[in-house]
Amino acid sequence: MALPIITQQVQNQLSKTQTSFNQKIKQIDELKLLLNLIEEHEIFLRKRLTISIFPLIKESNKIRMEFAEKLNNYFFDNQFTKAEKKKISTVICEYMSIVLENEETPRAIELYNMHTDTLSFEEERAKAKEMQKNMMKKQAEKFGFDFENVDLDDPNSFMASMAEQAEELQKKQEEKQAKRKKTPKQLEKEQKEAEQNKILNKTVKALYTDLAKILHPDLEHNDDKKQEKTELMHQVTTAYEQNDVFALLNLHIKYAQEGENKLDAIAEEQIKLYIVHLNEQIKDLEDQIHLKRFANFSPMMEWAGQKNFERKVKQEEKGMKDEVLSLKTMVMEADDVAIVKKRLKNTDIDDKNMIDFDMMLEMMEMMNIQIKDPKKKKKK
């Protein structure tokens, strides 16, 4: 379907308002296409995660456990020097850190605790939770919220409580503001905004009403056309409920204007009203795209919408498959003491491979939902 844009025989005859309208329409069309592509990529990724990626992660962690058990046996073998045993402990902790990121199995925790030379897994986790609690307390104090009766061990409960308190505080401030005597300028501004909102709602309703008069199935006697109009009316109602001016304009051109684009004849003031709706729709689409891309079920969703998305996901799968093969080789070679000693000789002790709870907390803080400060005035 052609886009509902304003046309003229000579392009430079378009006014600034008309040009802006066309730009918004094209932007929405691009955003809708991108959102559809991202949703397709999400379906593809969820399928790959279930069929291939999750099983590969499970298999690789199973092999890591097997390899760690063999190294653990060597740790108590007198054939290995003190320096080699230190490296064995480092490798075991490194591998158990990876396993524990996906599943906190008792044996993985036991091996990690046996070979760590710092805090135990439980101590590290307790430390991380305490830091998280302090972080949540600071956030609550910043906004003047009560956290004494909130379960700080449950981040979701905490965020829900803070959001509830923020809403309550906002409500109280609005009530307080409403009681204050308003200046003539404030009253005039509020009146203008109310009138504009009323007109904005009318513009959308007018499109809906025009389409309903033509497409309502109750007005059709032909059974085949009645079914077709039922489906079309569903599209119209959905677009109206979602304030989708883009879709309503498309349907209006096709059915209410009988395929003839009469947008050229619309007054400038009417176009400006459409632009207000279109701006809101652009913001909504951008928010949806952001939420989809940063969904927490997989970091690979950040690639969604890119042309090479499927190739990137398959490359990740290939990397995992190669890693599984490499791990299997290491497990087989672990039966040969000479090979193990050679590998240990080439292994650098790197504490950065241990569980990094500080980094985990930093990531949690970055990903944490930011509570809107009710003390700040809402921009209009």
Q: What is the pTM of this model?
A: 0.68
Collect all residues with Cβ–Cβ distance below 8 Å to 161 and sequence separation of at least 6: 145, 147, 150
Q: What is the pLDDT along the chain (380 residues), one digit of tens a residue?
A: 556 777 665 555 788 888 898 899 999 999 999 999 999 999 999 999 999 999 999 999 999 999 999 999 999 999 999 999 999 999 999 999 999 988 899 999 999 999 998 888 998 888 888 887 788 777 777 777 776 766 766 767 777 777 777 778 778 777 777 767 777 887 778 787 788 778 778 888 888 898 888 888 888 888 888 899 999 999 999 999 888 888 888 888 777 766 555 666 677 888 888 888 899 899 999 999 998 888 767 888 888 888 889 999 999 999 999 999 999 999 999 999 999 999 998 887 654 444 444 444 444 444 443 434 444 444 43
Give me the pLDDT at residue 360, please: 46
pLDDT given at position 125: 84
DSSP letter at 78 equals T
Q: Give the separation between CA 371 and CA 138, rounded to whole angstroms.
A: 12
Q: What is the pLDDT of residue 370?
A: 40
Predicted local distance difference test score (pLDDT) of residue 379: 43
CA-to-CA distance for 269 and 17, rounded, in angstroms?
9
Residue written as tokens 């009316």? 233
Do residues 95 and 326 make contact, with C-beta atoms less than 8 angstroms apart? no
Inter-residue contact 94 to 354 (CB < 8 Å) = yes
Query: Residue 238 in contact with residue 211, Cβ under 8 Å?
Result: no
Measured CA to CA, the distance from residue 331 to residue 340 in angstroms comes to 10
Report yes or no: 340 and 68 within 8 Å, Cβ to Cβ. no
pLDDT at res. 58? 94
The CA distance from 114 to 345, in Å, is: 22
The span from the CA of 148 to the CA of 239, in Å, is 45
CB atoms within 10 A of CB 295: 16
Contact 29, 244 (CB under 8 A): no
Query: pLDDT at position 380, please?
Result: 39
